[in-house]
Structure 1
Amino acid sequence: MQIDIQSRDVFYVSDGTAITCETLGHVVIGQFPLNAHEKTFPFVESEDKLDDLLREIEQSYQRTGRKPLVFFSIVIPRIKHRLLQAPAHSYDVLADIVEQVKGDIEMEPQPKLQRSRSVGKDSASYFDRIAAIEYTLAHDDGITLKGLDEADIILLGVSRSGKTPTSLYMAMQFGLRVVNYPFIDEDIRRLRLLPEFEIHRHKLFGLTIDPQRLNEIRENRLAGSDYASTEQCISELKSVESLFRREAIPYINTSSLSVEEISTRILEKAGLRRRLL
């Protein structure tokens, strides 16, 4: 039976970073055959930012004729009230859980802006995470291979196999310092590890992807190019996977996985611990 895939605009809204809304929203959306057009609105704590959001919701509804899905976490009453009046299907990602915990522990919650917990007694952990994000950005896409001794993990793979979003997610969510390196033509022809990686073998982890999926992703970036051709995708993946096997580098296929799933599986296989706030 053929499944009808529906297109729908999806907004993630929060008075904090919106990471919680995105994470829960992705899990929920993943249960349905939806082609989701997603947009995130963090730090919605003023009327001006709310007005911009409401304008986009209204435009989405008028353009598509379908109410967009809004996953939100807002504690400011007036902003939450106005958001709930918008032409959208809105879901408070914390409401049901908070109410259940309230009943179980017989204690009234004291709502506060999500980002307020980033400082204070947890400030050391917070700044460690900021340092992890800065390190990961500085080592994105092979920008530099200096300071590899500080890395928690080094992700390897062909271009567009999911290294950058995975690296940033692991830095933001888990506080890990991540290096990611894309194999270029010279690496693939040589088919051996760079000398810089030899002494850090225990940190190496590979990402691969199905050739058809890689072709689709590259076509969206550089349509009709040799870089995006099916033949090039197959050749690169075959070579890199051969290298992973020969060098005993653990790797996973990212084709059907969300960035959350990829990150969690890497942590499990690599034996890394999360550094939560």
Structure 2
Amino acid sequence: MTETQTDTVGAGNPSAPTVFFLSDSTGITAETLGNTLLTQFPGHPLERRTIPFITTVEQAHEVVAVIDQLAAAGPRPIVFSTAVSQDVRSVLARSRGHFFDLIGAHLGQLEDALGSSASGQPGQAHGVGDAVRYQSRMAAVEYAIEHDDGQSLRALERAELILIAPSRCGKTPTTMYLALQHGILAANFPLVEEDFASLSLPKPLLPFANKCFGLTSQPVRLSQIRQERRPGSTYASLNQCTFELRNAEDMYRANNVPYVNSASMSVEEISATVLQRMQLHH
């Protein structure tokens, strides 16, 4: 059994309950679902702990002992579990924490709906699982790395998506997320001041205009991000950011390139928007 400490809010606050994300696999699903629920309760100080790979009853008892110790000393922990094994789930459920079974609560209903029994095998969501899909995602990651920030124009015709935007608008993390999570062959291309001499797309992108999607931002936000990279530079100035964003948006509109303002969006939200508007589905 291994343990990872995730983002901690209110660390050292004895009144802050500990949130446990428990799993017999990586813990990604428990974190994602649990944190989604917790976003509905902003302002609560919390300490988060992820414990993945709880694969035996003995390990489950060890985890329960930790939870019960915290429950005896302070506020009852909140426990999100995505353990698939019935034996492991039953042990974890006996902890003194507030226990939320994110998998077991629905397995019975799904078994009824499908007319068959669940396999009970952990690790299917984030393991290698479907080898073909896994290889597809890894190939997409390699493609995204090669085509990051316009480094390569080779095989652009293979791209399913080309993200375009001024520097620091979120192109790279978005293409990497789309590749790793969805297996999308995504390139990204920076828009620089020379590209704004006309409203036309940069020449290498002209044959692939239908694959382009634009990102924009708020000038103040973009200036703040650029200041962290090159403080005091023209590149990071508010005037320069305003100029680039205004011209980028004009270019998008002139070429019927769909775009979204990424200033207040997470990578997941940007990616979901791109997938929906570009009708990309794997």
TM-score computed with the length of structure 2 as normaliser = 0.68
Whether 1:94 and 2:99 are equivalent positions in the alignment is: no
Between 103-112 and 123-132, the greater mean CA deviation after superposition = 103-112
SS at match of 1:228: coil
Contact persistence 2:162–2:188 (CA under 8 A): yes
Residues 124-155 of structure 1 deviation map (CA, whole Å, 9 limit, x = unaligned): 22212221122112212222121101110100
**Aligned counterpart for 1:234 among listed residues 236, 242, 260:** 242
Contact persistence 2:20–2:79 (CA under 8 A): yes
Residue in structure 2 matched with residue 3 of structure 1 by the alignment: none
Whether 1:157 and 2:189 are equivalent positions in the alignment is: no
**Cα gap change, 1:144/1:98 in structure 2, threshold over 3 Å: closer, same or farther?**
same
**Residues matched between the structures, number:** 255
Whether 1:111 and 2:120 are equivalent positions in the alignment is: yes
Contact persistence 2:161–2:213 (CA under 8 A): yes
Whether 1:31 and 2:34 are equivalent positions in the alignment is: no
Contact persistence 1:7–1:34 (CA under 8 A): no
Whether 1:256 and 2:264 are equivalent positions in the alignment is: yes
**Aligned counterpart for 1:183 among listed residues 191, 203, 206:** 191
Q: Which runs of structure 1 show a deviation greater than 6 angstroms over 4 or more consecutive aligned residues? A: 9-13, 35-43, 65-70, 76-82
Task: Please state how far the C-alpha of 1:251 moved relative to its aligned partner.
Answer: 0.7
Task: Mark the runs of 5 or more structure 1 residues left unpaired by the alignment.
Answer: 1-5
Contact persistence 2:83–2:103 (CA under 8 A): no
**Aligned counterpart for 1:203 among listed residues 208, 211, 214:** 211
Contact persistence 1:15–1:45 (CA under 8 A): yes
Residue in structure 2 matched with residue 247 of structure 1 by the alignment: 255
**Cα gap change, 1:180/1:81 in structure 2, threshold over 3 Å: closer, same or farther?**
farther
**Cα gap change, 1:129/1:241 in structure 2, threshold over 3 Å: closer, same or farther?**
same
**Cα gap change, 1:251/1:185 in structure 2, threshold over 3 Å: closer, same or farther?**
same
Contact persistence 1:16–1:43 (CA under 8 A): yes
Task: Mark the runs of 5 or more structure 2 residues left unpaired by the alignment.
Answer: 1-7, 12-18
Distance 1:197 1:230 in 2: 28
1:73-88 paired onto structure 2 within 5 Å = 73-75=82-84
Distance 1:271 1:96 in 2: 33
The structure with the larger Rg is 2
Task: Please state how far the C-alpha of 1:248 moved relative to its aligned partner.
Answer: 1.6
SS at match of 2:40: coil
Contact persistence 1:21–1:72 (CA under 8 A): yes
Distance 1:190 1:35 in 2: 50
RMSD: 4.3
What amino acid does structure 2 have at the position aligned with 1:113?
A: P
Task: Please state how far the C-alpha of 1:174 moved relative to its aligned partner.
Answer: 1.9
Residue in structure 2 matched with residue 130 of structure 1 by the alignment: 138
Task: Please state how far the C-alpha of 1:214 moved relative to its aligned partner.
Answer: 2.2
- Structure richer in helix, relative to its length: 1
**Cα gap change, 1:105/1:265 in structure 2, threshold over 3 Å: closer, same or farther?**
same
What amino acid does structure 2 have at the position aligned with 1:109?
A: A
Residue in structure 1 matched with residue 14 of structure 2 by the alignment: none
